[in-house]
Amino acid sequence: MHTSQALPAIHARKLNQTYLMLRMALERLHPIGYRCVEPERERTDMTTTPEVGARHDLVVEDVEYQRQDGLTLLARLYRPGGAGPFPAVVQVHGGAWVNKDRTDNDFIAKALAESGIVVASIDFRMPPEAAYPASLADINLATRWLKARVTQYRSRPDWVGSFGTSSGGHQVLLAAMRPDDPRYAALPLSEALGIDARVAFVISG
């Protein structure tokens, strides 16, 4: 794990816990090709082994992932440089289900991207403007959206997971347990016909 600047102690602990859980999740998925790689180890098969561990430059950009009734929802993408392939995560922010936005946990997203993980931190509709299950429908759509285009970011659809903190952790669990729930999968995505919202791993912190 790498960070470009010193973090407050509480943020450092949160980041260390997140990174440890993510590495454990990737290592448990070894049968389908995941393996966390230390920087000094030789990488011999970049088509099946994710490039995790080495320090990467990163690109941060905001991308529209959906528009509902004139409301534009953005994903902040944190993309590591390098050949990849990289694991990828949809990050869902906390905020007691009603607050905050995609910039929450920016320090975690940057550190993960610097370590070789593509992160898509999403905005989503929240109460009181949008009641349940609007947020879950947005998370489901964002997952399909990322899986549809993740090869552009040097990842693979079957290497996409989800990560959330606090109320975001609750929501990624719900979304992962019911990817085909008609309430959650209600929003169409023309570029991702036939792609579902199943994820390779879930981290709830």
Q: pLDDT by residue (tens digit) across 37-62?
A: 333 333 334 455 555 556 788 999 99
Q: What is the pLDDT of residue 24?
A: 64
Whether 1 maps to a domain, the answer reads no
Does 182 fall in a domain? yes
Tell me the CATH number at 109: 3.40.50.1820
Query: In the 3-class helix/strand/coil scheme, how is 18-76 assigned residue by residue?
Result: HHHHHHHHHHHCHHHCCCCCCCCCCCCCCCCCCCCCCCCCEEEEEEEEEEECCEEEEEE
Q: CA-CA distance, 151 to 147, in Å (whole number)? A: 8
Q: Residue 4 domain-assigned?
A: no
Q: What is the pLDDT of residue 31?
A: 44
pTM of the entire predicted model: 0.80
Q: Which residues of the chain have pLDDT under 50?
A: 1-4, 31-46
Q: Residue 147 sits in which domain range? A: 9-204
- Number of structural domains (the chain) is 1
